[in-house]
Structure 1
Amino acid sequence: MRSNPGVRHAALLTTGLLLIAATFVLSVRYGTKSMDAATVWDALFHYDPENMDHLIVRTSRIPRAIGALLVGAFLAVSGALMQGMTRNDLASPSIMGVSDGSVFAITLCMIWMPGDSAMSMIVWSVIGSAFGALLVFGAARLLPGGMSPVSLAVLGTVIGMFLNGVSQALSTYFQVSQNISFWYNARLHQMDPAVIRLSIPFAVAGLAIALMTSRRITALSFGDETAAGLGVRIRLIKSLAMLSVMLLTGISVAIAGKIAFIGLIIPHIARFLVGQDYRRIIPYGALLGAFFLAWCDLISRFVNHPFETPVGVVTALFGVPYFLYLIRKRGGGRSG
């Protein structure tokens, strides 16, 4: 007897939400100092500002858990959109220079506008993500074969390294390297709750665009000719998808710094679970991305306990082997 697809997806979605809730609780409880459930409960509902444990839960653990879940979701959705519209399995914000563009813009902001607001930091980060994407895709169109999956990945990596190198050189020259180090090596325990709150409108806009364009991204994932035959306005949809990527990646970098490989790995897992329809890949990818980064963050707390390990080290342990697998086995191209 065949299972009802609607029931299956409802079960997957419910399971995903329950796992996210459990992960949130674990993220709040465990760290350099583990806390029992009663302490966390009291911190939430009977807050005592004189109690150090309550202060840690309210000002550090909860923002960290929320930030990890949100950033993981945003990067996963960004990667899914990029892979769908380019038909490139190697596409992701960290590989295509989008994240590096955000870090570059934040560096400039810290140098020339050091006292600027958190909102300005978010805006600059989004502008930087657009700049990084334009550099990579613009250069790819100028080079013979530049839009092929591996060439685009190599070009994105090279331009990303260039932007990263310039950022670090500028931060050293202008003596702001200490202030900017958070964005080079993401440390989720240093996230600013104000930036998380201010990023919500940008996140809502980015996710709304992603969901609205998801059906047409599915058509694009089978090729531009197929999409055009189905009446898809290719340039408009690609422009909207890139706008979503820029918004979601920009706020992710502003919140937590540059985190690699989530946008590369998670869309593949989502496609394996729910098929090729981006109306399902995007929401499931968001859940998987949130779950993945939150668990990478949990693992990073115990790699060198009681010291914090940058979460990017943990994501790289999963991401680098998978990146090499994609290049060797599939050449980065989308089959079908």
Structure 2
Amino acid sequence: MFLFLIASMMVSLVIGAVSIPLQTFIDAWLNFDKSNQLHQVLMNVRLPRILGAAIVGTSLAISGALMQGITQNPLADSGLLGINAGAGLGLAVMFAFFPDTSYRFILVACFMGAAISVGVIYLITSSNKQVMTSLRLTLAGAGISALFIAASQAIALQFNLSQDITFWSIGGISAISWSQLRLITPFFLLALLLAIINSPAITILRFGDDTAISLGKKPQRTRIVASIIVLVLSGLSVAVVGSISFVGLIVPHVLRYFVGENYRYLIPLSGLGGALLVVWADLIARSVNPPFETPFGIITALIGIPFFLYLSRKGGLRL
């Protein structure tokens, strides 16, 4: 799968509104020429865009796998549960009140918005020592998502930000730069490492809290750590491309047919699968009607909505 991802990224590099020979990319990589327009397009536009797409796809797919693991809910996804909407609200607040702020603070605002969403969902779905159920989590996430999206739209209308918020809400990756990648990559790598380290504990959760405790694990701590990883990955994804749903829903389910419920394999493979999905969605989005672009959030939604309905009919909302 890793080799297929590399091949897909190479295809995405040379195909677009203007097709560029692979040899040109090799020349640009080995002997970059600032005066060569094709070299500029490859190294400063397409390459960071493709790397950003891979990071976002990996982040969203791992977030979905983690959410499904800690809640035992096959419909869990950072987009469906309102975490992306919370990060989007943080983004809207920054656009409205701090329009000239740096990307660093936009990223922090997205993290804070995602954290607020996670905290509110936990408060709603947990009472006393009762652990959240799948149905309560899904309903709470839907309500929080609707509330935060409405708040973002209200801010957009009040401050005349409709065009900016719309771009982010439907997803767009065309403007990503090397400076943004340098900022988000450390957060991404740290969250990815923590997800892999905690994957055995996530696997044990499917057997119940009592079993996990008997094996020396701490279920609640596992859920808290996983939730922090999810809010970091979701926050950086929204900061890069806006609110994209369904990637975290689709990819882990497909890969479960091959690796089952062992999260030591499911998490890294979900990362690769999510990167593949978003890289190809981005390629399709900019190839449908060149030189204009279709936001790739629409592409993932067209794939994800039928998949969501299929899971619902198969009994996805389990108590």
TM-score when normalising by structure 2: 0.94
Q: What does residue range 229-248 of structure 1 map to in structure 2 within 5 Å?
A: 229-248=214-233
Contact in 2 for aligned 1:192/1:255 (Cα 8 Å)? no
- CA displacement at 1:117 relative to structure 2: 1.7
- 1: CA distance, partners of 2:139 / 2:304: 16
- 1: CA distance, partners of 2:316 / 2:59: 26
Q: Which residue of 2 aligns with 1:191?
A: 176
- CA displacement at 1:258 relative to structure 2: 1.2
Contact in 2 for aligned 1:77/1:285 (Cα 8 Å)? yes
- 2: CA distance, partners of 1:90 / 1:161: 17
- CA displacement at 1:146 relative to structure 2: 10
Letter in 1 for 2:185: I
Provide the alpha-carbon RMSD of the alignment. 1.8
Contact in 2 for aligned 1:29/1:36 (Cα 8 Å)? yes
State which drifts further: 47-56 or 84-93. Answer: 47-56
| Alpha-carbon spacing, 1:156–1:169, altered in 2? closer, same or farther (3 Å) | same
Q: Which of these residues, 198, 212, 218, is aligned with residue 227 of structure 1? A: 212
Listed one character per residue, the Cα deviations across residues 156-179 of structure 1 (whole Å, up to 9, x for unaligned) are 123212211211220221123333
Letter in 2 for 1:134: G
Q: Does 1:39 align with 2:24?
A: yes
Q: Does 1:51 align with 2:36?
A: yes
Contact in 1 for aligned 2:125/2:132 (Cα 8 Å)? yes
- 2: CA distance, partners of 1:266 / 1:156: 20
- CA displacement at 1:151 relative to structure 2: 4.3
Letter in 1 for 2:69: G
Letter in 2 for 1:283: P
State which drifts further: 220-229 or 270-279. Answer: 220-229
Q: Unpaired segments of 5 or more residues in structure 1?
A: 1-15
- 2: CA distance, partners of 1:161 / 1:58: 39
Q: Which residue of 1 aligns with 2:115?
A: 130
- 1: CA distance, partners of 2:152 / 2:39: 38
Q: Which residue of 2 aligns with 1:141?
A: 126
- 2: CA distance, partners of 1:197 / 1:221: 36
Contact in 1 for aligned 2:44/2:177 (Cα 8 Å)? no
Listed one character per residue, the Cα deviations across residues 202-240 of structure 1 (whole Å, up to 9, x for unaligned) are 112211221121111001122223222222111111111
Q: Does 1:162 align with 2:147?
A: yes
Contact in 2 for aligned 1:77/1:286 (Cα 8 Å)? yes
Q: Unpaired segments of 5 or more residues in structure 2?
A: none
Corresponding pairs, count: 317
Q: Which residue of 2 aligns with 1:210?
A: 195
Q: Which of these residues, 47, 50, 58, is aligned with residue 65 of structure 1? A: 50
Q: Which residue of 2 aligns with 1:11?
A: none
- 2: CA distance, partners of 1:96 / 1:179: 23
Q: Which residue of 2 aligns with 1:29?
A: 14
2:139 partner SS: helix
Letter in 1 for 2:102: S
Q: Which residue of 2 aligns with 1:95?
A: 80
Contact in 1 for aligned 2:134/2:318 (Cα 8 Å)? yes
